[in-house]
A and B are shown apart, each in its own frame.
Chain A
């Protein structure tokens, strides 16, 4: 289930940490339309079964701000879970037309929400393109420190698999472990980017790559995002 949310800003200047602001927008909507689901979705640290990306018109980094060519953006949202889809759809439609704080004195206004048709997944190979960067994160349990890998690192793919294992097991059971081991990512045209999010710099990867995996895994990852931190706007991909 894919939503395309067209939004307007009051000004062309938005904060560098805009992903967090989008999450705040979601939270504001859900507080309004389905408050009983808030805890379920944002309380605790569990994996988010959705992902999003933000398309900005010609963004230019200016310190803690980003300057845009036009005062608007498109938020792409995707989930493979129908219930989550409805909650977010209802949340966003409940905010339609109203101004919501977006930081740097700016406000965001949802203009309309469109449903994007999904492509079918055929076979066990697909060429995908990132709509938001893919994060691969190693977590040190002793120091509580995070280490992020880009596709150039040898640890990128194994770490990514470790990130995905718990939630894929959750969704599909033991079979997922076996199929995940066989999953393969082959970069076609990728580059390393550093994203500022939640007050840290995150090394991540964008571009085009080939994903080789069982069709059900492909579908799940295309629907819900690939890698970790999908709920913070990482790992959204689409078929190329």
Chain B
């Protein structure tokens, strides 16, 4: 029997690699025992194909390869009906497809490099040259020239058949997709060596991977290490030299070539064995990437759970992608997968979970505390209502769901967000996709957050709702007095006081206004003097009431729902 290779879970980076490795080889093909996985060397046979196949399976639909081959269906449809419904729109689409998809992608040098590997005899360039845009002059009437044009379409179709068959072949998929994935997914995890080395001598990325990562393991396993002087930085197994380091991993601080001072004085000691190196190369398969942003949940309880929670997140992300709501998806998937885990599993009461995000080419870390998970869990309904809500800031679309989750993950209260949302509504900024009800929901979440942080214990949720109601009555008071025009000035002053935490200023304005209405100030305002959070919570609750939509409806229609 072959000796087993052992890899232990440890820090987030090796853990992401481990999850990626399990995704690639299949969990059922390794033995998992707590924090460790065991496998035999035969699992590494043809590992390079398994490696790429995993990425192809996961990301196939997002690849430019799919854009090329999926056109075949349209072609078949027109052929089947002998172009009866082929119209000007269909022609425009064909032209666009030829120019923006086929020629655009297949003229990229990355793809050209692997053409000979797919089919050495194929002359892709000639096919591309034979693709001709079909133009219709303004004077020509469609019916008059249709027959002529269909002929030209058929000629193009012939070329496209060759091109699509070429791409859709097993080898076409294998190489074109791999090339695509190298630069859209794999390079999020590592770069600068093997097929991601710009000057690589090896055309075939599969072979390149095998040479860089798999072969050294086989060699290593055959080496007598009894006299080895060094140890692997990651698994502590003996290694003969310090050739393999971690500088190929993106942004993790082991860039020995550029940042020499990172690991104390002995940065050369940061070398790994070939097995760990292979595991590290699987990091991109451990993360789930959507729109260039990656996520990994580092639950260090055990390899099995580690894999499961990430798989669940991946599945949620893919499901939500089908729903077509995009930039929030990763967060929504994250929240749903961990809250589900949270419900099913009491062990989350014991430890915090580490979330690793890859955003804008940097890793960001958050500890998802039990408290944060509780808040999210308790606020599922409100959160759900925020999925399609957002606002525009310059050219940026800010999604409220994502914004709220990010704040909570960073242990930040939501006052600045609440402030902004009320302020934008009050000043009728364009591009707002929420109503005051949503802001009120965010205030509720914030109240829970403050309670969890134990900073605000003397104001209850009920009192805040009461204050919101006071705000609405306050506004009604002004409406009754036919002084609605004063509200925006008052709102402006009150919001400013809240922003700079000026309790006296806030109360002054409030006192002035209430005395104008000849009404008492709600007693709940007395409680706000105890701390800043209580003050802000009560203040914003009041503003939500004042900014409520009640009177707008009376004006004829609620303008806030879009």
Chain A interface residues toward B at CB < 8 A: 1, 3, 33-34, 37, 80, 82-83, 85-87, 89-90, 93-94, 96, 112-115
A-facing residues in B479-495 (Cβ within 8 Å): none
A-B contact pairs, 15 of them (CB 8 A): A1-B504, A33-B520, A82-B504, A82-B529, A89-B514, A89-B515, A90-B520, A93-B515, A93-B518, A94-B520, A113-B515, A113-B518, A114-B515, A115-B508, A115-B515
B326 contacts partner chain A, Cβ-Cβ < 8 Å: no
Closest 4 CB pairs of A and B: A82-B507, A90-B520, A82-B504, A83-B529
B318 contacts partner chain A, Cβ-Cβ < 8 Å: no
Say which residue of B511, B518, B519 sits within 8 Å of A86 (CB atoms).
Answer: B511
A85 vs B29: C-alpha distance when bound (angstroms): 74
A114 vs B516: C-alpha distance when bound (angstroms): 8
* Interface of chain B: mostly helix, strand, loop or mixed: helix
B103 contacts partner chain A, Cβ-Cβ < 8 Å: no
- Enumerate chain B residues within 8 angstroms of A90, measured Cβ to Cβ: 520-521, 523
Chain B, residue nearest A112 (CB): B518
* Interface size class, chain B: 10 to 19
- Enumerate chain B residues within 8 angstroms of A1, measured Cβ to Cβ: 504, 507-508, 511
Chain B, residue nearest A91 (CB): B520
Give 9 new A-B contacts, CB below 8 A, not counting A34-B526, A82-B507, A90-B523. Answer: A3-B515, A33-B520, A80-B504, A82-B506, A82-B508, A89-B511, A89-B515, A96-B518, A115-B508
A89 pairs with B521, CB closer than 8 A? yes
- Enumerate chain B residues within 8 angstroms of A37, measured Cβ to Cβ: 526
B123 contacts partner chain A, Cβ-Cβ < 8 Å: no
Say which residue of B504, B506, B520, B529 sits within 8 Å of A89 (CB atoms).
Answer: B520
- Enumerate chain B residues within 8 angstroms of A96, measured Cβ to Cβ: 518
A37 vs B512: C-alpha distance when bound (angstroms): 22
B171 contacts partner chain A, Cβ-Cβ < 8 Å: no
B525 contacts partner chain A, Cβ-Cβ < 8 Å: yes
Q: How far is the CB of A105 from chain B (nearest CB, A)?
A: 29
Chain B interface residues toward A at CB < 8 A: 503-504, 506-508, 511-512, 514-515, 518-521, 523, 525-526, 529
- Enumerate chain A residues within 8 angstroms of B523, measured Cβ to Cβ: 34, 90
A80 vs B519: C-alpha distance when bound (angstroms): 21
Q: A1-B504, A93-B518, A96-B518 are in contact. Are A86 and B525 (CB under 8 A)?
A: yes
B515 pairs with A86, CB closer than 8 A? no
Say which residue of A3, A93, A114 sits within 8 Å of B520 (CB atoms).
Answer: A93
Q: How far is the CB of B78 from chain A (nearest CB, A)?
A: 76
Q: A1-B504, A34-B526 are in contact. Are A86 and B512 (CB under 8 A)?
A: no
A89 vs B512: C-alpha distance when bound (angstroms): 10
A87 vs B523: C-alpha distance when bound (angstroms): 8
A114 vs B518: C-alpha distance when bound (angstroms): 9
Interface centre among A80, A85, A90, A114 (most CB of B within 10 A): A90
A1 vs B506: C-alpha distance when bound (angstroms): 11
- Enumerate chain B residues within 8 angstroms of A113, measured Cβ to Cβ: 515, 518
A112 vs B508: C-alpha distance when bound (angstroms): 18
A8 vs B14: C-alpha distance when bound (angstroms): 82
Q: How far is the CB of A127 from chain B (nearest CB, A)?
A: 24
Q: A114-B515, A115-B512 are in contact. Are A85 and B520 (CB under 8 A)?
A: no
- Enumerate chain B residues within 8 angstroms of A112, measured Cβ to Cβ: 518
A90 vs B518: C-alpha distance when bound (angstroms): 10
Q: How far is the CB of A224 from chain B (nearest CB, A)?
A: 12
A82 pairs with B503, CB closer than 8 A? yes
A34 vs B523: C-alpha distance when bound (angstroms): 8
- Enumerate chain A residues within 8 angstroms of B504, measured Cβ to Cβ: 1, 80, 82
- Enumerate chain B residues within 8 angstroms of A86, measured Cβ to Cβ: 507, 511, 521, 525-526
A83 vs B531: C-alpha distance when bound (angstroms): 13
Interface centre among B515, B519, B529 (most CB of A within 10 A): B515
Q: How far is the CB of B44 from chain A (nearest CB, A)?
A: 71
Q: How far is the CB of B524 from chain A (nearest CB, A)?
A: 11
Q: A83-B529, A115-B512 are in contact. Are A93 and B507 (CB under 8 A)?
A: no
B519 pairs with A93, CB closer than 8 A? yes
Q: How far is the CB of B526 from chain A (nearest CB, A)?
A: 6
A93 vs B522: C-alpha distance when bound (angstroms): 12
